[in-house]
Amino acid sequence: MAYDTNNVFAKILRGEIPAHKVLENDDVIVFMDVMPQGPGHTLVVPKAASRNLLDADPAVLARLLPIVQRVARAVKDAFAADGVSVFQYNEAAGGQSVFHLHIHVVPRFDGVPLKPHSGTMEDNAVLAANAEKLRKALG
């Protein structure tokens, strides 16, 4: 399938939809997931257009993964997590719901299951506070 330039992440990249941004450079934008599966659930989104990992330019992937690692370390520190889960889904059958390549970084706590991606949006004040906490951890 072709890349849809009207997907929600493309709109965020164009500034048409607000996001609680944590980090941005020429290659990626990092922001808080509005329907987090746990406190601090963060998304790392390359600016280059691709549906997912399957059609992404390898050069984009080479610049993406070091940022994912940096964000994962910061998420673990910022939220005093016991661990971190990193997810990436491809196509609807693989669990993808937004068809722009993105990577989920979720702090994890012993004995605490992830919440479902329920469609319920998190309070903006909580997202803003979590974004600030993560920005501080990133330095």
Domain parsing of the chain, residue ranges? 8-138
What are the residue ranges of helices labelled H in the chain?
A: 8-13, 58-78, 124-138
Q: In the annotation, is 20 catalytic?
A: no
pLDDT attached to residue 118: 74
Candidate list 20, 41, 102, 104, residue with the active-site label: 102
- Compute the CA torsion angle 98, 104, 110, 114 (nearest 10 deg): -10
Residue 1: the pLDDT is: 81
What CATH superfamily classification does 8-138 receive?
Answer: HIT-like (3.30.428.10)
- pLDDT, tens digit, 9 for 90 and up, residues 90-100: 999 999 999 99
Q: What is the pTM of this model?
A: 0.96
What pLDDT is attached to residue 120? Answer: 86
Q: Are 78 and 129 in contact (CB under 8 A)?
A: no
Q: What pLDDT, on the 0 to 100 scale, is given for residue 117? A: 83
pLDDT in tens, 3-58: 999 999 999 999 999 999 999 999 999 999 999 999 999 999 999 999 999 999 99
